[in-house]
A and B are shown apart, each in its own frame.
Chain A
Amino acid sequence: MLLQLKDLNKQYSSGVHALKNVSFNVEEGEFLVIIGLSGSGKSTLLRCLNRLLEPSSGSIIFMGKEIAHIKGEELRLLHKQIAMVFQQFNLIDRRSVLTNVLTGGLASMSTLDSVLERFTPLMIQQARKCLQIVGIEEKAELRADTLSGGQKQRVAIARSLMQKPILLLADEPVASLDPATANSVMQYFEKINKQFGTTIICSLHFLSLVRKYASRVIALKDGEIVFKGDAKDINDVLFREIYGDESSDFEIK
């Protein structure tokens, strides 16, 4: 088992109880999708998994090791093993696409080398390879802010690949893209999952995408898990349970 969550709770200092006794396991090679209304705690959950946030209580066991409260160098090594892709891409706008991808490898460079931007030829070759995987190696020299949304997200995926991650997290990676682009970006996640066997945990909004890509689904509502299982088992009753009575099927399905 790659990842094991037990009774995970997260309470923000503002008092919001964003995760309540969340427990689940993730096997190696899974494509786990997390669904739920906005505010249900998806981002909080993903950020606790790679420890951008520290959970209030509960345990997270990653590759047999408790990581819920690790700090310092140990935490940095965890970050290196778990990559993350964000809804807003979070690229460095003013730098080239290639440099953006290279930042995925910062953890294995000395501080001095990275500040002087002395990347080894091997790293540069790897970065180009990562760009090739997401199909935009020809954009390598362009500035990141000249790209379209879909291209930016592919660069962000290439950056995460540069880390050679054991686990890849994606927080609503296609939520700010149009449906066609969203689908094409999701295909790259699928490719990474199938080709490299990288475990993926991804939060999504549209059920059509969930059905197409998820090997398993977890639904959150107000910080609690309300469904665990196969995407095709989400029937109308469950749908209303997850998204509330007023939500229309068209919007999300």
Chain B
Amino acid sequence: MKKDEIKPNKEELFVNKHIQPGDERKSGFEMKLNFLKAAFLDLFLVFYTLLILHRVIYYKLFLNLREIPFSWGQILVVLLVSIILGGLWTASRTSISAKLFGFAKNTPFSKWSVEISSWIIFDLTFIAGWVITKISIVDLFSSEGISGANRIFSAIFSPSFSIFDDALFAIIETVYLALIATVLSIPPTFVLSFLSARNLMKDNKISFALYYLLRIVFNFIRSVEPLIWAIIFSVWVGIGPYAGMIALLVHSIASNAKLYSEAIETIDQGPIEAIQATGANKIQIIWYAIVPQIILPFLSFTIYRWDINVRMATVIGLVGGGGIGTMLMQYQGLARWHEVGLIVLMIAVVVWIMDYLSAKLREAIF
């Protein structure tokens, strides 16, 4: 009986192979590609594990060396060992990647191998993170540390009002810097957001290329922190609020253009179709069918951006972007903690007010 059951099954398998040769070949190619990807991933995992074991666990924790010896030769040896071990691991079809790409053996050993190695990698990463950030409970609670904290906190909580006038002017500078950056960002963002909305740009090859280009540029600009833009522009136009403003402007345009264009992409297509069907031209369609649908989200994003910009303006002041941040850096450098206390207090109050105002405004709009 059993033999009978098995036999047709085998035949079926055989027949199937011949019925869909295209599918078989394709999946065969995909299998090979997946195997290759898995081998690389396993190589990386083994390399990473060995590197941490060697450099962090052995040198740092076990031998407790201050200076860890480094040579490219060593790394190369570790890499060679990893290639051999990783290759064997993948080939045995018991590796993590084999599991991820779905060709792992279905045996208890394979399961065990995947679980144990995942656990080891996770633990090693955590330990390495701990060691590298030099986490030390001792430093946090040493008497020296505690008295330092005491000193700074007592100073900050008894702010000195002697510099109140200067701080007030500085923080006004910060708020206006953020405001100007936000307001100036509106017109370019408005135009650019239409050019980076997929649904408006996808019909034509040239416009679609422009869409892609803009997306890449925006993503790049956004991935560079405003702090770094401030450093760049303070070299370009000189240290001060102007550099800070341009840094925020650039970052605001890139961030909001993305948000705006996403709002454009999710609008109701119905009115667009209807206005198009009246014989209106492209600009008229945008003005009558798209703008009314996006004006509120745009306003809301823009107000929120002002709020964000005030907070960022204080931070970029630290690298010479002007305003209260620059002042904070100066007094911190002089270790005048009572003055620092006042500045921190004023920043907190202004940020809180901005946060409240922007939330209320956005609520009122919707």
B284 shortest CB reach to chain A, Å: 5
Asked if A253 is an interface residue, CB under 8 A from chain B, the answer is no
Stretch with Cβ within 8 A of A (4 or more), from B123-131, B220-228, B287-295? B287-295
Contacts of B276 in A (CB 8 A): 52, 79
Whether B279 contacts A114 by the Cβ 8 Å rule is no
Q: Chain A, 199-223, contact with B by CB distance < 8 Å: what is the 0/1 string?
A: 0000000000000000000000000
Contacts of B292 in A (CB 8 A): 92-95
CA–CA, A60 to B349, complex, Å? 69
Asked if B271 is an interface residue, CB under 8 A from chain A, the answer is yes
Contacts of B19 in A (CB 8 A): none
Whether B284 contacts A86 by the Cβ 8 Å rule is no
> What residue in chain B is nearest A51 (Cβ atoms)?
B277
Write 21 A-B pairs (CB below 8 A) sorted by A numbering: A52-B277, A77-B279, A79-B278, A80-B279, A83-B277, A90-B268, A90-B270, A91-B271, A91-B274, A92-B275, A92-B289, A92-B292, A93-B292, A106-B275, A106-B280, A109-B284, A111-B281, A114-B280, A114-B287, A159-B274, A163-B278
Given contacts A105-B278, A162-B278, could you give 18 more A-B pairs where the C-beta distance is less than 8 Å?
A77-B279, A79-B280, A80-B279, A83-B277, A86-B270, A90-B270, A91-B271, A93-B292, A94-B292, A95-B288, A106-B275, A106-B279, A106-B281, A106-B288, A107-B278, A107-B280, A111-B284, A115-B283
Contacts of B268 in A (CB 8 A): 90
Seen from chain A, the residues whose Cβ lies within 8 Å of a Cβ on chain B are 50, 52, 76-84, 86, 88-95, 103-107, 109, 111, 114-115, 156, 159-160, 162-163
CA–CA, A114 to B284, complex, Å? 7
Asked if B24 is an interface residue, CB under 8 A from chain A, the answer is no
CB within 8 A of A76: which of B281, B283, B288, B295?
A: B281
Contacts of A91 in B (CB 8 A): 271, 274
Asked if B273 is an interface residue, CB under 8 A from chain A, the answer is yes
Q: A90-B273, A92-B271, A92-B288 are in contact. Are A83 and B278 (CB under 8 A)?
A: yes
Whether B278 contacts A106 by the Cβ 8 Å rule is yes
Contacts of A77 in B (CB 8 A): 279
Whether B274 contacts A84 by the Cβ 8 Å rule is yes
Q: Chain B, 289-324, contact with A by CB distance < 8 Å: what is the 0/1 string?
A: 100110100000000000000000000000000000
Contacts of B279 in A (CB 8 A): 76-81, 106-107, 163
Whether B278 contacts A159 by the Cβ 8 Å rule is yes
> What residue in chain A is nearest B292 (Cβ atoms)?
A94
Contacts of A78 in B (CB 8 A): 279
Contacts of B288 in A (CB 8 A): 92, 95, 103, 106, 114
A96 shortest CB reach to chain B, Å: 11
CB within 8 A of A111: which of B270, B278, B283?
A: B283
CA–CA, A21 to B17, complex, Å? 39
CA–CA, A80 to B279, complex, Å? 4
Contacts of A50 in B (CB 8 A): 277
Contacts of A103 in B (CB 8 A): 275, 278, 280, 288
CA–CA, A50 to B276, complex, Å? 11
A53 shortest CB reach to chain B, Å: 10
Whether B278 contacts A156 by the Cβ 8 Å rule is no
CA–CA, A86 to B276, complex, Å? 13
CA–CA, A88 to B288, complex, Å? 17
> What residue in chain A is nearest B274 (Cβ atoms)?
A90
CA–CA, A115 to B271, complex, Å? 17
CA–CA, A82 to B276, complex, Å? 11
A49 shortest CB reach to chain B, Å: 11
> What residue in chain B is nearest A162 (Cβ atoms)?
B278
Complex A-B, nearest 10 residue pairs according to Cβ-Cβ distance, in ascending order: A80-B279, A107-B279, A90-B274, A90-B270, A79-B279, A106-B280, A84-B277, A94-B292, A106-B284, A90-B271
> What residue in chain A is nearest B285 (Cβ atoms)?
A106
Whether B284 contacts A80 by the Cβ 8 Å rule is no
CA–CA, A34 to B289, complex, Å? 28
Contacts of B289 in A (CB 8 A): 92
